[in-house]
Amino acid sequence: MSENELHRIGVIKEVCNKQLTQMTAASNLGLTRRHIQRLVNQFRQDGDVGLVSKRRGLPSNRRFLSDFREKVLTLVKQKYADFKPTFACEKLAELHGIKLSSETLRQWLITEGLWRVRKRKQKKVYQPRYRRECYGDLVQIDGSHHDWFEGRSAKCCLLVFIDDATSQLMSLRFCESESSYDYMNITREYIDNYGKPTAFYSDKHSVFKVNSPSRKSSKQMTQYGRILYELNIELICANSSQAKGRVERANRTLQDRLIKEMRLAGINTIEEANAWLPEFMADFNRRFACSAYSSQDAHRPVQESAIELDDMFTRQTSRKVSNSLTLQYDKIIYLLDPTEKAKRLVNKAVMIYDYPDGTIALRYCGEELTYSVFDKLRSVQQGDIVNNKRLGAALAFAKENQAERENTYDRTRNARKGSRKAQVRAMNPRVADEVKFKSSLTRE
């Protein structure tokens, strides 16, 4: 028996023993006096069992028909086999006009063996942290590497910016790898749309923090950290994934919902996805975003001009000018035009601005320097370290280089089929002339 039924038995017994009037019992149980008389008659006839509901154990009168149940399960098997019950229930209502509760659908799927209840492992306890009070006070950022297009395109990374106070998705952007330039682009887009937040909350990825043991003691910043410092935005690096759990949980939700939404929308490339993401963000925030404790907006207006922002969102470094008016950056030698101003810069440091679009600017004390590309260094050291999060892009680049080397090897092997002079001439004409000259001396 339930607690309500046990309480009802006690009251009816008092009525039968004339310790309580029927009007008082009706007032206590929230029933009419006539219904109290019926319960008294049932109790006197059958005892405690007479007060138990006769409908217990029988199917509900409000249950769905079996034909409707089969129709829903057929749709789920055909189109939403890998959807979770809540998400499948939403799609049934949006696309097919079928309205039912997610718990009903979950029980149906469990009965049919289409959904399995998993036993959760005992997790480590982490003390909760209150949300920030103001919108824009703290923005959690992270990159999620996943097969977002389910094999229709190569694996890529989704950069996620989420507000801590409201759980609102602020910016989403697909990119090939989690690099500094990608974070520069999405951050520039963020401050153009919302302004400057108080702080960004990230992990200890090398884009945000210098992780080299030899540099940890120094105050050196990464390129992205320098940009935020110039914009007066605080960068906080979390010590664990649980500390920035809001963006981690958002990544988990996106890896489930976003993939299937793109499948339904027929999106197959990064370009198509980035153009469609604002529509998804609006629908996502309508469903899951909440209100902040305070109505204050902590975003600050951007004081810098567009030109100043263009210079900030670059990879900046310095190089010394050699006696031949050259400097080396990113395996490329740049030759300064031999002007009087350039000649005075020998052995002085020149700032290099490497823009995300690939253009390079050389400046000294804010003045632009004209230059030309002298030569490219073709050798790549085997000891170059590639970050784990960019390993996929690095391997793809390596495969392209290997294919190019294979083609070069095939052309060289075909050239070796000729005579020795033809071989030497094909490989290096200058060496061929030297061989010809030495052979003439031998004959003389």
pLDDT, position 378: 54
C-alpha to C-alpha distances, 409 to 135, 259, 401, 404, 418, nearest whole angstrom: 59, 42, 12, 9, 16
Residue 298 is assigned to a structural domain of this protein? no
Residues 188 and 276 in one domain: yes
Residues 277 and 156 in one domain: yes
Sign of CA dihedral 271, 275, 276, 280: positive
Could you read off the pLDDT of 113-129 as tens digits, one per residue?
999 887 777 777 767 78
Tell me which of 336, 353, 376 is where a domain ends.
376
Residues 254 and 194 in one domain: yes
Residue 61 is assigned to a structural domain of this protein? no
pLDDT, position 330: 85
Average of pLDDT values for 252-259? 94
Tokens of 79: 């189109």
Q: What is the DSSP letter of 3?
A: H
Residues 168 and 31 in one domain: no
Could you read off the pLDDT of 289-306 as tens digits, one per residue?
999 999 999 999 998 888
Residues 189 and 73 in one domain: no
Residues 183 and 42 in one domain: no
pLDDT, position 29: 87
Residue 259 is assigned to a structural domain of this protein? yes
Residue 306 is assigned to a structural domain of this protein? no
pLDDT, position 264: 95
Could you read off the pLDDT of 260-281 as tens digits, one per residue?
999 999 999 999 999 999 999 9
E strand or H helix that includes residue 439: helix 429-443
Range with lowest mean pLDDT among 178-182, 239-243, 411-415: 411-415
CA 372 to chain centre: 39
Residue 360 is assigned to a structural domain of this protein? yes
Domains in the chain, number = 5
Residue 109's pLDDT band (boundaries 50, 70, 90)?
Answer: very high
Helix (H, G, I), strand (E, B) or coil at 263: helix
Residues 417 and 331 in one domain: no
pLDDT, position 152: 93
Residues 161 and 236 in one domain: yes
Residue 130 is assigned to a structural domain of this protein? no
pLDDT, position 3: 81
Residue 166's pLDDT band (boundaries 50, 70, 90)?
Answer: very high
- Cβ atoms of 142 and 203 within 8 Å: the answer is yes
Residues 281 and 142 in one domain: yes
Could you read off the pLDDT of 309-337 as tens digits, one per residue?
999 999 999 999 999 999 999 888 999 99
Residues 342 and 254 in one domain: no
Residue 117 is assigned to a structural domain of this protein? no
Could you read off the pLDDT of 51-90 as tens digits, one per residue?
877 777 788 888 899 999 999 999 999 999 999 999 999 9
Could you read off the pLDDT of 92-108 as tens digits, one per residue?
999 999 999 999 999 99
**What is the span of the domain harbouring residue 9?**
3-51
pLDDT, position 394: 63
Distance between CA atoms of residues 316 and 335, nearest Å: 18
Residue 432 is assigned to a structural domain of this protein? yes
pLDDT, position 411: 55
Residues 154 and 97 in one domain: no
187 closest CA partner among 203, 200, 177: 200
288 closest CA partner among 162, 139, 418: 162
Tell me which of 376, 400, 421 is where a domain ends.
376
Long-range contact set of residues 323-328: C-beta below 8 Å, sequence gap at least 24: 323/347, 326/374, 327/352, 327/362, 328/377
Residues 275 and 150 in one domain: yes
pTM listed for this prediction: 0.65
